[in-house]
Amino acid sequence: MAKELRDKQLRSRVKLLGSLLGEVIETQVGKDILNAVEKLRKGYIKLHDNEDPALRAELKAFIEEQNPEDLILIIRAFNLYFSLVNLAEEEHQFHERQSQLKSDGPLWMGSVLNTIEEFKKDGLTADEVKTLIGKLNYIPVFTAHPTESKRRAVMDNLRRIFLTLGELNEAENYQNPYAQEEVIKKLQYQIQVLWRTDEVRRIKPTVEDEIRNGIYYFRQSLFAAIPTVYRYMERALARHYPDDNIPTPNFLTFGSWIGGDRDGNPFVTHKTTVNALLMQARAVLYEYEKRIFQLSSQLTQSRYLTEIKQEILNKTTIIDADLMELVFHKRSSRFIDEPYRRFLYLMRGRIQQNIAYVEAQLNDDPIEKSPFCYNSEEEFIDDLELIYESLCGHGDQEVADADLKDLIRLAQTFGFYLMRLDIRQESTVHTDAVSDLLSHLGINYEQLSEAERIDLLSKHISSPTIIDTQHLALNKMTKEVLEVFHVIRRMREEISPKAFNNYVISMTHEASHVMEVLFLAHQAGLAGYNAGEPYCKIRISPLFETIQDLEHIVPVTTALFDNPTYHALLKVSGNLQEIMLGYSDSAKDGGNLSSAWTLYQAQEQIMKLADEYGIDCRLFHGRGGTVGRGGGPTHNAILSQPTGTVRGQIKFTEQGEVLSYKYSNAETAMYEISLGVTGLMKASKCLVRETKEDDPEFLSTMQQLAKQGEHAFRELTDHTDGFFKFFYEATPVTEIGLLNIGSRPSHRKQGNLSKSSIRAIPWVFGWAQARLTFPAWYGTGTALANWSNNHGDKQLKDMYENWPFFRGLVSNIQMALFKTDLIIGKSYSELGTDQETAQKIYHMIADEHTRAVEANLNISGNEYLMAETPQIALSLMRRTPYLEPLNNIQVAILKRYKNPDLTDEEREVWVTPLLNSINAIAAGMRNTG
């Protein structure tokens, strides 16, 4: 009954927002456009319920007679509807969580409170819990991968509507009709502003724009959310282990690739990397300045009424005269009787000097660093903790545990760098740079064998001398590569030793690819030997992306661990080897089933290898937003990792629409981070308890399923003549590049339209637009059906019930199957110029979809797809009747746009409606790439 009431409330919200949008459309662009929208909306709802060829033909003709200007308005209407529905759902979910919190019930499924309670019920001792959470490190890494089609201006407007929906809830709770009327008026004009805001970028974003977008989420939500997440943990530990005083360590670290990921992006240079670090530093320093100022008005304790720590009294009286003048000007005795307040003013003055230095650097007008600047985040944290200890010392711990503790948590989490920047570059770039450098020593590096390369590189790294490049005629790219390493060294000193995380090598095929980066780091003084002692100020993460690379992960890593030079430098850098796994490229390469299984095996093998060598290993998961790129709910994804491979630490990429969905508001951010952290805690129980080994029969079955799935996937994508020609003709993949959603080109090699060249994001994005989401499930139906025909269903059902990995895989595939629409996909297939080939490919996809749905439902025991997640299914179903008109509009536009008989001027008029349609479909499906 309660669930029905909640669903009714949500439907009521969606209906209200829809009617307000209708009123805005009518007042802004007229009744005709509203009528056109309603005709399409109601018509496709009817078709969704009952197929009617005459009605379908009528709607198709109606779309084709619309001019480009009217189509733009119709598309925008549907697009805004999706945005408002998404918002209503997010606000509704938040409202439900708040209600649960107020009733002191469970915060949400998988919450920190529930997880600690589970640990207690399972008999974990306080020492075991302390050990487990002491090793936690949850590391989301923000990337600029272009999978978010919304502009920031649109997101800001949506955030305002989200907050206004909260106001409407309050007005309804107090049963105040006047207040409700006022809030609804407010909603209407906010929707009107949204209608007037362009949702499509007219100009391609620069890397600096992408950096700002990444920082946006910290100002918008994360500065507020992070301290609250820590409070959840403290509260949970105090409730379930009340007598044990288990400390809550810092377990959150945020990373970034934005401004550091130069793989295939010519716009990311060493200067861009410097800018990224400075912009991040500026953002976090301003946050500290604001919070210090707020604290200074709260901590007004008098030294005559309070036993304040002597060290603080000293720091507020023994002050450099110049600092005193800088902070207090002519009022040198200001707050002399309120030491905390005075001390905080001095701290704020010092932070302002840090800000001034960073601002000058960003404005290309560098100044000398003030002696009053904080030299490090540790120095800043020490001052904050001194105040904390003093407050606790005179009985004001409750005061200390409020805003001051929040600021300490932020400083411990974000330092002076905000996000730890990863650098990423493709392996051949390093090989070319090393080859160029060594050619000046008379060495032909390219002709050396792998063993000879490793031996040569090791000798150079071990040598105290470096190659003098000052007068060498090096290639332009070699100079740029070397400059990146010099930037790493310089910015570690200037911003923070923690400013950088790892150096990621994409397309790692050999151990020499890692040694090349170490060799180049040696040239910049980041690694090597000093007076015979090894030193290493850089950590390197090989990225294994394709199916073949993942299968070679053990021999490549073994060659590294066996190398004395590499082993010695790894040990002095912390003895932690990070290995990055590429989900999206492996899925594009061999299909989702083969990718998932190869990744599973690679994780088990690499952790076992690291254990044999006594090396700690952290896995870095390069997950996309969609299932076709390794996506899916983070909590479940962590729990479905191979047993014993998650040991307190996990690192994974977050991008595009995932960033927007998770971190656009503080409430959702708290929820998503808490779910991720609890998944990590549960998966890390192997740190304190013996874990059950995987069933060998399950592993054997999965091996066979993966082989058959990969064979079927490659049969379609690699061995079907005309497949890629069909892809570029039947989807808007080429036009996605015009959408201006990212600075990076859509192909690794421009002009090369092959599967190996196209990046995983446009690959998935293109098929998703055509509602043929096969990259996430193709091959699954064949593999599962063949197994069932030969061996029956018992084993597969047993795997689904008792193996989290397989259950998670099947559940994620269900969502992708649900999002496929074969009727709409058929319309896109008719865009192919060679219809015989086009229909052959379409029917291969359609037949596999049928097989996959039948097999999936049979194994899971569900009556329909996504029966176990009815809320998500309902959310997607709510959008379906609105997506159908958009897809049919897009097909009509593509027919015209791709018509070879059009002149460039005639084609140009269809560009804007086409881009708007891509944007709107992405919003409706809630993901892109």
Question: Quick one: tokens of 817?
Answer: 């199957």
CA 423, 426, 428, 429 torsion-angle sign: negative
Give the integer Cα–Cα distance in Å for 574 and 883.
51
For the question of residue 608 being annotated catalytic, the response is no
Give the integer Cα–Cα distance in Å for 354 and 367.
11
CA 86, 92, 98, 101 torsion-angle sign: negative
For the question of residue 797 being annotated catalytic, the response is no
Give the integer Cα–Cα distance in Å for 832 and 723.
10
Nearest Cα residue to 422 out of 214, 631, 147, 615 = 214
Catalytic position from the list 150, 430, 588, 662: 588
Burial 410-440 (b: 16+ CB within 10 A, else e): bbbbbbbbbbbbbbbbbbebbbbbbbbbbee
Give the integer Cα–Cα distance in Å for 876 and 874.
5
Quick check: 804 and 640 in contact, CB under 8 A? yes
Q: How many CA atoms lie within 13 A of 525 on its CB side?
A: 8
Question: Quick one: tokens of 812?
Answer: 């994620």
Give the integer Cα–Cα distance in Å for 457 and 284.
39
CA 415-420-422 angle, to 5 degrees, is: 165
Give the integer Cα–Cα distance in Å for 792 and 857.
15
Beta-bridge partner residues of 651: 139, 620
In terms of DSSP bridges, do strands 527-530 and 420-426 run parallel, antiparallel, or are they unpaired? unpaired
Question: Quick one: tokens of 287?
Answer: 């946050």
Beta-bridge partner residues of 655: 143
In terms of DSSP bridges, do strands 255-256 and 616-622 run parallel, antiparallel, or are they unpaired? unpaired
Catalytic position from the list 130, 145, 430, 898: 145
Nearest Cα residue to 489 out of 522, 525, 464, 528 = 525
Give the integer Cα–Cα distance in Å for 812 and 591.
14
Alpha-carbon Rg for the chain, nearest whole angstrom, is 29
Give the integer Cα–Cα distance in Å for 308 and 338.
10
Give the integer Cα–Cα distance in Å for 258 and 211.
6
Q: Which H or E run contains 544?
A: strand 540-544
CB atoms within 10 A of CB 198: 11
Give the integer Cα–Cα distance in Å for 706 and 595.
8
Give the integer Cα–Cα distance in Å for 738 and 912.
10
Q: Which H or E run contains 505?
A: strand 500-506
Distances in whole angstroms, Cα of residue 663 to Cα of each of 39, 41, 165, 224: 36, 31, 18, 11
Longest dimension (CA), the chain: 91
In terms of DSSP bridges, do strands 255-256 and 137-143 run parallel, antiparallel, or are they unpaired? parallel
Quick check: 652 and 579 in contact, CB under 8 A? no
What is the residue whose two structure tokens read 């080994």? 693
Question: Quick one: tokens of 845?
Answer: 């996809």
Beta-bridge partner residues of 503: 423, 540
> Which sequence positions are flagged as catalytic?
145, 588
